[in-house]
Amino acid sequence: MKQSLAVFAICGLAGWFAFAGDGPAVPYLDWGACPFECCTYREWIATDKVTLHTDRSLSSPVAFSVGKDQRVQGLTGVVITTKVGRVKILKPITLDDQEPVTLAPGDIIHTLHYLGEGYELFWFRGQLHSDQITGQKVEEVPDPAASWQVLALPETEWWVKVKNAQGQVGWTKESVKFDNMDACG
């Protein structure tokens, strides 16, 4: 009996690792990403009070705070995908103009995060790609005219690293409390 349980446990783990190997490891960290159209790391203006931490964790010590209308330098950031999205291909299609990938019905692509202008960063067979495949919601029943079906949306958080006028550096995931991040606007 013990031997049967051990074999079951090993086979179960092997199956899990095989499944996990189909997509990127999570959390997936995209360093330097600025996840929206015209997003730019530069001088930002706080629209409300923002608390910045010494590390990318709300439990890390507070480095400093900035108040409304204070200016900081947006240095960099990281988009952390904690759960990948999944998109099922329904019709033959080629995606990604830069690094074309041909997909067949039944293929599953793993979406990581939004890039801007309708583009999504996605993973397929160990390679990163991007194209306009953004889905706003999970589709229980696919549109008959669609080339793909959104099975699951990615879950992400965006941590930004900023520096204040005194030279202090800190991290926050309250990026929505900054203005002047959009170079197009």
pLDDT at residue 120, rounded to an integer: 95
CATH class of 32-77+157-185: mainly beta
85-153 matches 32-77+157-185 in CATH topology: yes
Identify the three-state secondary structure at position 52.
strand
User: Does residue 6 carry a pLDDT above 50?
Assistant: no
Whether the model clears a pTM of 0.75, i.e. scores above it, the answer is: yes
Q: Using one digit for the tens of pLDDT, what is the confidence trace for 40-70?
A: 999 999 999 999 999 999 999 999 999 999 9
pLDDT at residue 21, rounded to an integer: 55
pLDDT at residue 134, rounded to an integer: 74
Q: Domain spanning 85-153: which superfamily?
A: SH3 Domains (2.30.30.40)
Spans of all domains in the chain: 32-77+157-185, 85-153
- Cβ-based neighbours of 38, under 8 Å, separated by 6 or more: 116, 182, 183, 184, 185
